[in-house]
Every structure is written in structure tokens, then in C-alpha cells.
Chains A and B, each alone.
Chain A
Amino acid sequence: MEEILFFAAALGALGGAVGVVLMRNPLFGVLALIVHLFSLAVLFLLLTAAFVAAAQVVVYAGAVMVLYVFVVAYVGDEHEPAWEPIPGQRFLAPLLGAALFVELSIAVLGSSLLALGTDGPDVGPGFGDPAAIGKLLLERFLLAFEASSVLLLLAAVGAVVLAARRRESA
């Protein structure tokens, strides 16, 4: 059962990722990314990270993607021109991507982490649920929590400054 779920979610995640890269229309790219994010949420659930999965669905697939859809609708779905500034870019880039994947796999699988081949240790029923993560966020990682709230405020102010209509119309 776990294997079936893993392979279904992995196929969804890979298909969504390939769709983002290959879709001509940015709106379809955004929809492919939503499929990818939902599949990743399933993978997080399989890894007993319930809170991260819920945050993924609510924050990412819900809020952030709506932002993308609005901006794509505002800017309009422009199709890319066929002109290629660097000759052979479309052939070299997949080659470099494949090289990056091989290198990452060698780095991870060649490491002497013995627990990599196992399912991980047995964890209790409370592992990764909102109560446990919230306790960690408010106790051990309080500084990171507060810093991220300041970062969110800065980003909101920055977006308003960047996208505001200038009166002098520069």
C-alpha cells in the first residue's frame, strides 16, 4: 500500500515538474505546479510530516498559487519568442540538468549514511503533528519563528513599494 502511494505521488510530482518546464503557456505551468505541490503533500504524509503536508496544501497550493494565477492573468499569457540568444542552449541545458542529477545521486548514495537504506526508526504517533511542531517553533526555534515573521512583513511592504503605481509616472 505504501509503495503504491509513493509511486503514484512520485509520478504526479515528476509529471508536474516536467509540465512546469515544458508548458508554453504560463497559466498551464501554474496548474502543473499545483499538481506537483499536491503530490509532494502526499509524500510528506508518507514521511509522517502531517503539519508540513497541511501547510503545503493550505499555504502553497492555496495562497501562493492564487497569487501566481492573478499575476499571469494580469500580465497576460505571452508566448515565448522562438529566437535563441545562445545557440544550443536548449540542448546544453538538459545535459547540464542530467549531470546535476547524477552528481547529486552519487553524493547522497555514496555517502556512508547507514540509515539511508532503512525506513527510518519507529516514531510515536505524535511525530510531526501540529502540536509537536508548534511546541518546537515556540520553544527551541523561537528566534527563527520571529525572524520569519519580520521577513514576511518586509516582503509585504516591499511588494507594495515595488508594484505601486507611481504618481510621477517615471
Chain B
Amino acid sequence: MSIEWYIVLSSLLFAIGAMGILIRRSPIVILLCLELMLNAGNLALVAFSRMVGNQDGQVFAVIVMVVAACEVVIGLGLIVAIYRRKLPLDVDELRTLRG
């Protein structure tokens, strides 16, 4: 399979993830769509690393995975905190910041 196919698939997945973030309002689903976009980026990184014949892109993909895991942990912590305070889990209603 030529590399083009992987790159086109990765941009399609990225567009689907971006669309999901625009459509959905539940913060959990928005986090899931963020994962979709990060994974599309990972696929492009690994495909380009195969195209060049150099493993640096794969190391980059592993580091992106670590960053994604951190983002999930913080995001889910925020969702649990929101739920504990009996606030609505809807990003359109959570629009005021208070210290």
C-alpha cells in the first residue's frame, strides 16, 4: 500500500474528530473526539516515518501517546469534579469561570 492511502485516511479521521467536537456537547464525548484527532495525528506521524525510513517519527508517536494519556487524566478529573458539584455536564452551560 502506498503511503498516500494512510495519509488520506488519517486526514479523514482527523476531520471526523473535529466534526464530533463541533457537534457534541457532552464533555466526555468531546474528550473521546479529541482522542480521535490525536490518533489521526499519530497515524500520519508513523506513515511519514515509514515513508522516510527513519524511526524518529515513531518515537514522536509514543510521546504523543504519553501526552494524550495526561490529557485524559486531567480531563476526566475535571469531569468528576464538575459532577461532584452538581453542575450540568454540558459545555454550552459551563461557560462562566469562577475561582
A residues sitting closer than 8 Å to B (CB atoms) are 2-3, 6, 10, 13-14, 17-18, 20-21, 26, 29-30, 33, 36-37, 40, 43-44, 46-49, 51-52, 55-56, 59-60, 63-64, 67-68, 71-72, 74-75, 78, 80-81, 85, 89-90, 92-94, 96-98, 100-101, 104-105, 108-109, 113, 115-121, 123, 127-128, 132-133, 136-137, 140-141, 144-145, 148, 151-152, 154-156, 158-163, 165, 170
Q: Contact at A68–B23, with CB atoms within 8 Å?
A: no
Q: Contact at A132–B55, with CB atoms within 8 Å?
A: yes
B5-54, CB < 8 A from A:
5-9, 11-20, 22-26, 28-29, 31-33, 35-36, 39, 42-43, 46-47, 49-53
Q: Contact at A21–B19, with CB atoms within 8 Å?
A: yes
CA distance A71 to B31 in the complex (A): 12
Q: Give the top 4 A-B pairs by smallest Cβ distance, nearest first.
A: A97-B19, A104-B11, A101-B15, A93-B22
